[in-house]
């Protein structure tokens, strides 16, 4: 029941363009399974799995992972990646086996090598460090994160105080703040609003990390507006479509679930938020697991209906493993819960269309 994530369209499409793609095959096969067994949501006390859709890889993650794979194919190993390309242990280990080397800082990359910037984005200073190190770079920043970066630059130029809603220390927050450090103030949830201080209450705008809980973000915005009634909102929602869609789906699953399992790594913000969202919207309990091997059977004692989803950086093979684990223990019926369609793709980074090895060699001799 494994599935291959959808692949971006031709690499020469505009970098920030988005087009529709089909729902993943794992969802299709599970839908067929549910239809064959004649299952219906809410029926009896039989054991069943409510499988949230959309789930798993979003367009930005798919783009970033393929960028590393294609760079390895085009240029050969090693290819260096600054920070985890996406927040998922399985994905990182798989790419390491193929020849990717993950580093914490750009300075760890030898001169003349290729370095890929992760989907979470980097501050302008990181680009300068790469240039000083004569590195060839591939920017795999999610286009939706890039949008927030551009908003920060724009509002800084207009001399706004920018209130960035996000989690301290998250790579995305560090990258966005780095675009305009003198203008950005981090607001880490509604409890942090009382600590905010701005120069001019009439010239304040809020932006946000793209992977937050929609509900908590709006709670923070409401609290900020209580202090700053003229607080300006970004021209379009900063919470990414995939985060919103996965939270919408898990809310619907949670209403009927005795227990919710979310597949994802602990350092994945959007995965953690899915567990929190499920419990807040009716699930009796829930856990985050990297894979089936982390499930404790005692969690499921007395549970009839199990909700299942996965974070935006999780390949479907890990969800398939959980479904197999559950089926072996009696949860064989799988019902798809899909309140929203998701059909999004991003084209690959433009740097993959060039001969980066040749460019790096030219820098070394130049």
CA distance 309 to 263: 6
Three-state SS annotation for 148-184:
HHHHHHHHHHCCCEEEEECCCCCHHHHHHHCCCCCCE
Strand partners, 102: 81
**φ, ψ for residue 312, nearest 5 deg:** -70, -5
Catalytic residue among 113, 171, 172, 179: 172
CA distance 363 to 366: 5
Query: Are 141 and 174 in contact, with CB atoms under 8 Å apart?
Result: no
Q: Work out the number of other CB atoms within 10 angstroms of the CB of residue 99.
A: 15
What end-to-end distance do the CA atoms of the chain give, in Å? 52
Give Cα separations from 33 to 20, 160, 216, 293, 326 (angstroms): 25, 54, 36, 24, 15
Helix/strand/coil for 35 = helix
Question: How do 18-19 and 345-346 pair as beta strands?
Answer: antiparallel
Q: Is 73 a catalytic residue?
A: no
Query: Are 124 and 147 in contact, with CB atoms under 8 Å apart?
Result: no
Query: Are 249 and 337 in contact, with CB atoms under 8 Å apart?
Result: yes
Which residues are designated catalytic?
172
């Amino acid at each position: 029941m494994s599935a291959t994530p959808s692949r971006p369209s031709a690499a020469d499409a505009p970098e920030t363009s988005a087009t529709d793609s089909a729902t993943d095959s794992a969802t299709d096969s599970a839908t067929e399974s549910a239809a064959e067994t004649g299952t219906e949501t809410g029926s009896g006390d039989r054991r069943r799995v409510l499988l949230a859709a959309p789930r798993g890889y979003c367009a930005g993650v798919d783009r970033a992972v393929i960028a590393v794979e294609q760079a390895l194919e085009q240029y050969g190993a090693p290819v260096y990646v600054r920070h985890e390309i996406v927040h998922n242990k399985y994905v990182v280990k798989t790419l390491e086996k193929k020849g990717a080397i993950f580093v914490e800082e750009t300075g760890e990359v030898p001169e003349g090598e290729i370095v890929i910037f992760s989907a979470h984005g980097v501050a302008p200073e990181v680009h300068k460090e790469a240039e000083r190190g004569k590195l060839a770079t591939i920017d795999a920043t999610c286009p939706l994160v890039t949008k927030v970066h551009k908003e920060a630059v724009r509002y800084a130029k207009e001399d706004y105080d920018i209130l960035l809603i996000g989690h301290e220390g998250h790579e995305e927050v560090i990258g966005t703040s780095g675009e305009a450090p003198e203008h950005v103030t981090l607001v880490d949830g509604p409890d942090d609003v009382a600590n905010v201080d701005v120069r001019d209450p009439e010239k304040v705008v809020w932006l946000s990390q793209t992977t937050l809980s929609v509900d908590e973000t709006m709670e923070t915005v409401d609290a900020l507006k209580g202090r700053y009634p003229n607080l300006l909102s970004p021209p379009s929602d900063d919470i990414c479509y995939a985060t919103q869609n996965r939270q919408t789906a898990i809310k619907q699953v949670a209403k009927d679930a005795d227990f919710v399992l979310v597949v994802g790594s602990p350092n994945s913000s959007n995965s953690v938020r899915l567990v929190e969202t499920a419990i807040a919207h009716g699930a009796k309990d829930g856990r985050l697991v990297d894979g089936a091997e982390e499930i404790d059977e005692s969690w499921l004692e007395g549970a009839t209906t199990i909700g299942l989803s996965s974070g935006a950086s999780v390949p479907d093979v890990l969800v398939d493993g959980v479904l197999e684990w559950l089926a072996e223990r009696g949860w064989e019926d799988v019902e798809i819960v899909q309140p929203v369609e998701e059909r999004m793709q991003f084209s690959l980074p433009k740097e993959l269309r060039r001969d980066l090895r040749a460019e790096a060699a030219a820098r070394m001799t130049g």
